[in-house]
Amino acid sequence: WPPMGLLLLLLLCVSGLQAEGESEEQKCLQEGRNLTVTCPYNINKYAFSLKAWQRVRSDGSLETLVITETRNADLNVAQAGRYLLEDYPTEAIIKVTMTGLQRGDAGLYQCVIHLTSQNLVILHHRIRLVQCSGDVPALIFVACGFILNKGLVFSVLFVLLRKSRPQVHGQT
Protein backbone atom coordinates (compact mmCIF):
# COMPACT_ATOMS: atom_id res chain seq x y z
CA TRP A 1 0.00 0.00 0.00
CA PRO A 2 1.10 3.58 -0.54
CA PRO A 3 2.28 5.51 2.54
CA MET A 4 -0.57 6.61 4.81
CA GLY A 5 0.38 10.29 4.42
CA LEU A 6 -0.16 10.12 0.65
CA LEU A 7 -3.54 8.47 1.09
CA LEU A 8 -4.61 11.12 3.59
CA LEU A 9 -3.46 13.88 1.23
CA LEU A 10 -5.45 12.37 -1.64
CA LEU A 11 -8.50 11.93 0.57
CA LEU A 12 -8.27 15.56 1.67
CA CYS A 13 -7.99 16.73 -1.94
CA VAL A 14 -10.83 14.55 -3.20
CA SER A 15 -13.08 15.64 -0.34
CA GLY A 16 -12.35 19.26 -1.24
CA LEU A 17 -13.75 18.92 -4.74
CA GLN A 18 -16.68 21.22 -5.45
CA ALA A 19 -19.56 20.85 -7.86
CA GLU A 20 -18.92 22.03 -11.42
CA GLY A 21 -19.06 25.82 -11.67
CA GLU A 22 -18.27 26.26 -7.98
CA SER A 23 -14.64 25.24 -7.99
CA GLU A 24 -12.23 26.79 -5.52
CA GLU A 25 -8.50 26.73 -5.13
CA GLN A 26 -7.15 27.06 -1.62
CA LYS A 27 -4.01 29.06 -0.98
CA CYS A 28 -2.17 29.63 2.27
CA LEU A 29 -2.31 33.11 3.69
CA GLN A 30 1.26 33.95 4.65
CA GLU A 31 1.22 37.22 6.58
CA GLY A 32 3.41 39.95 5.12
CA ARG A 33 3.81 38.15 1.79
CA ASN A 34 2.20 38.94 -1.55
CA LEU A 35 -0.27 36.77 -3.42
CA THR A 36 -0.47 36.79 -7.21
CA VAL A 37 -3.35 35.09 -9.02
CA THR A 38 -3.71 34.63 -12.78
CA CYS A 39 -7.15 34.33 -14.33
CA PRO A 40 -7.56 33.43 -18.02
CA TYR A 41 -10.60 34.57 -19.99
CA ASN A 42 -12.18 34.18 -23.44
CA ILE A 43 -10.40 36.70 -25.66
CA ASN A 44 -13.18 36.79 -28.26
CA LYS A 45 -15.90 37.65 -25.74
CA TYR A 46 -14.19 39.73 -23.07
CA ALA A 47 -11.02 41.41 -24.39
CA PHE A 48 -12.60 44.88 -24.18
CA SER A 49 -14.71 44.35 -21.05
CA LEU A 50 -13.94 45.75 -17.62
CA LYS A 51 -12.29 43.31 -15.17
CA ALA A 52 -12.47 43.25 -11.36
CA TRP A 53 -11.15 41.44 -8.27
CA GLN A 54 -13.81 40.78 -5.66
CA ARG A 55 -14.14 39.39 -2.19
CA VAL A 56 -17.12 37.14 -1.51
CA ARG A 57 -18.37 37.91 1.99
CA SER A 58 -19.66 35.16 4.27
CA ASP A 59 -23.27 36.23 3.55
CA GLY A 60 -22.63 35.86 -0.20
CA SER A 61 -22.53 39.58 -0.97
CA LEU A 62 -19.70 40.89 -3.12
CA GLU A 63 -17.11 43.55 -2.37
CA THR A 64 -15.29 44.89 -5.43
CA LEU A 65 -11.71 45.55 -4.33
CA VAL A 66 -10.29 46.83 -7.61
CA ILE A 67 -11.76 47.34 -11.10
CA THR A 68 -10.27 48.45 -14.41
CA GLU A 69 -11.49 51.76 -15.80
CA THR A 70 -9.97 51.52 -19.29
CA ARG A 71 -10.54 49.23 -22.25
CA ASN A 72 -7.17 49.39 -24.02
CA ALA A 73 -6.17 46.71 -26.50
CA ASP A 74 -2.77 45.96 -24.94
CA LEU A 75 -2.82 46.65 -21.18
CA ASN A 76 -5.28 47.88 -18.56
CA VAL A 77 -4.01 48.51 -15.03
CA ALA A 78 -5.94 49.41 -11.91
CA GLN A 79 -4.71 49.78 -8.34
CA ALA A 80 -6.66 50.33 -5.14
CA GLY A 81 -4.64 50.20 -1.93
CA ARG A 82 -2.96 46.79 -1.65
CA TYR A 83 -4.73 45.41 -4.74
CA LEU A 84 -3.20 45.60 -8.23
CA LEU A 85 -5.09 44.29 -11.27
CA GLU A 86 -3.34 43.97 -14.63
CA ASP A 87 -5.41 43.00 -17.67
CA TYR A 88 -3.51 41.76 -20.73
CA PRO A 89 -6.16 41.55 -23.50
CA THR A 90 -3.74 40.27 -26.16
CA GLU A 91 -2.97 37.30 -23.87
CA ALA A 92 -6.51 37.04 -22.40
CA ILE A 93 -5.09 37.02 -18.86
CA ILE A 94 -5.84 38.99 -15.72
CA LYS A 95 -3.08 39.13 -13.13
CA VAL A 96 -4.09 40.21 -9.62
CA THR A 97 -1.60 40.92 -6.84
CA MET A 98 -2.52 41.40 -3.18
CA THR A 99 0.42 42.89 -1.27
CA GLY A 100 1.26 42.63 2.42
CA LEU A 101 -1.21 39.89 3.27
CA GLN A 102 -2.85 40.18 6.69
CA ARG A 103 -4.74 37.72 8.87
CA GLY A 104 -8.00 39.51 8.03
CA ASP A 105 -7.50 38.75 4.33
CA ALA A 106 -8.61 35.14 4.87
CA GLY A 107 -11.68 34.47 2.76
CA LEU A 108 -13.02 33.81 -0.71
CA TYR A 109 -12.03 35.88 -3.78
CA GLN A 110 -12.82 35.89 -7.48
CA CYS A 111 -11.75 37.43 -10.78
CA VAL A 112 -14.72 38.66 -12.77
CA ILE A 113 -15.68 40.23 -16.06
CA HIS A 114 -17.64 43.29 -14.92
CA LEU A 115 -20.31 43.77 -17.59
CA THR A 116 -22.52 45.68 -15.12
CA SER A 117 -22.73 45.65 -11.33
CA GLN A 118 -25.56 43.11 -11.67
CA ASN A 119 -24.04 41.16 -14.58
CA LEU A 120 -20.74 39.52 -13.66
CA VAL A 121 -18.92 36.58 -15.22
CA ILE A 122 -16.76 34.64 -12.75
CA LEU A 123 -13.47 33.62 -14.33
CA HIS A 124 -11.44 30.49 -13.76
CA HIS A 125 -12.09 29.37 -10.19
CA ARG A 126 -12.46 31.20 -6.92
CA ILE A 127 -9.50 31.56 -4.57
CA ARG A 128 -9.92 30.79 -0.87
CA LEU A 129 -7.18 32.25 1.33
CA VAL A 130 -6.85 30.16 4.48
CA GLN A 131 -4.73 30.48 7.61
CA CYS A 132 -1.92 27.94 7.56
CA SER A 133 0.71 27.32 10.20
CA GLY A 134 3.90 25.39 9.69
CA ASP A 135 5.16 23.65 6.59
CA VAL A 136 2.91 20.57 6.56
CA PRO A 137 -0.44 22.39 6.03
CA ALA A 138 1.21 24.64 3.46
CA LEU A 139 2.45 21.57 1.59
CA ILE A 140 -1.00 19.98 1.69
CA PHE A 141 -2.73 23.07 0.31
CA VAL A 142 -0.12 23.54 -2.42
CA ALA A 143 -0.37 19.86 -3.39
CA CYS A 144 -4.17 20.03 -3.41
CA GLY A 145 -4.03 23.10 -5.62
CA PHE A 146 -2.06 21.10 -8.18
CA ILE A 147 -4.20 17.97 -8.09
CA LEU A 148 -7.71 19.32 -7.65
CA ASN A 149 -8.26 18.62 -11.30
CA LYS A 150 -10.78 15.77 -11.11
CA GLY A 151 -9.31 13.78 -13.97
CA LEU A 152 -5.86 13.88 -12.43
CA VAL A 153 -7.15 12.91 -8.99
CA PHE A 154 -8.92 9.86 -10.33
CA SER A 155 -5.93 8.94 -12.50
CA VAL A 156 -3.63 9.05 -9.47
CA LEU A 157 -6.07 6.99 -7.40
CA PHE A 158 -6.35 4.44 -10.21
CA VAL A 159 -2.56 4.07 -10.47
CA LEU A 160 -2.17 3.77 -6.69
CA LEU A 161 -4.91 1.17 -6.42
CA ARG A 162 -3.47 -0.82 -9.32
CA LYS A 163 -0.01 -0.84 -7.82
CA SER A 164 -1.32 -1.89 -4.43
CA ARG A 165 -3.03 -5.06 -5.71
CA PRO A 166 -1.00 -8.20 -5.11
CA GLN A 167 0.64 -9.48 -8.26
CA VAL A 168 -0.25 -13.07 -9.17
CA HIS A 169 2.68 -14.89 -10.70
CA GLY A 170 2.42 -18.21 -12.50
CA GLN A 171 3.02 -21.16 -10.19
CA THR A 172 5.43 -23.87 -11.29
The verdict on residue 53 lying in a domain is: yes
Inter-residue contact 84 to 96 (CB < 8 Å):
yes
Output the domain CATH number for residue 127. 2.60.40.10
Per-residue confidence (pLDDT) for residue 166, from 0 to 100: 52
The verdict on residue 114 lying in a domain is: yes
Of 62, 69, 46, the C-alpha closest to 109 is 62
Give pLDDT tens digits for 109-164.
999 999 988 899 999 889 999 998 754 444 444 444 444 444 444 444 444 444 54
Total tally of structural domains belonging to the chain: 1
Give pLDDT tens digits for 45-94.
999 999 999 999 999 999 999 999 999 999 999 999 999 999 999 999 99
| Domain extent at residue 65 | 22-132
The verdict on residue 59 lying in a domain is: yes
The verdict on residue 82 lying in a domain is: yes
Across 6-15, 16-25, 94-103, 114-123, least confident range: 6-15
The verdict on residue 44 lying in a domain is: yes
The verdict on residue 6 lying in a domain is: no
